[in-house]
Amino acid sequence: QVPLVQSGAEVKKTGASVKVSCKASGYTFTSYGINWVRQAPGQGLEWVGWISAYSGNIKYAQKFQGRVTLTTDASTSTAYMELRSLRSDDTAVYYCARSSDYSYADWFDPWGQGTLVTVSS
């Protein structure tokens, strides 16, 4: 059983929004947090933010503040990341990854399989 399964690839126009889901299984969803990390083609890893599935506390990377919203739905054990005002440089694989429920400061394990978001004009 794969612990984190993400939604499928998306193609969006510049200026649009995208919402990626991450469904958890095999563990108590509300005992952990979920981080979101992105990876542009051929590039490294960039942290987007963290949400506690227990408390709803959120920490965003300042770079994405105002443009991203993280949410969770405990009834379906699913976390969501919505990114708005998409630009071409938002084209990346977006990963969810499990971590602590009480602080963003924790290692990430396991990771979802990734969702490719392609932004074009």
Partner 1 sequence: ETVLTQFPGTLSLSPGERATLSCRASQRVTSSHFAWYQQRPGQAPRLLIYGASSRATGIPDRFSGSGSGTDFTLTISSLEPEDFAVYYCQQFDSSPITFGQGTRLDI
Residues at the site binding partner 1, with contacts judged by CB under 8 A: 35, 37, 44-47, 59, 61-63, 95, 97, 104-114
Strand partners, 119: 12
Which C-beta is closer to partner 1: that of 15 or that of 110? 110
Which C-beta is closer to partner 1: that of 54 or that of 111? 111
Which C-beta is closer to partner 1: that of 10 or that of 106? 106
Least distance to partner 1, CB of residue 117, Å: 15
Least distance to partner 1, CB of residue 74, Å: 24
String of DSSP letters for 9-64: -EEEETT--EEEEEEE-SS-GGGSEEEEEEE-TT---EEEEEEETTT--EEE-GGG
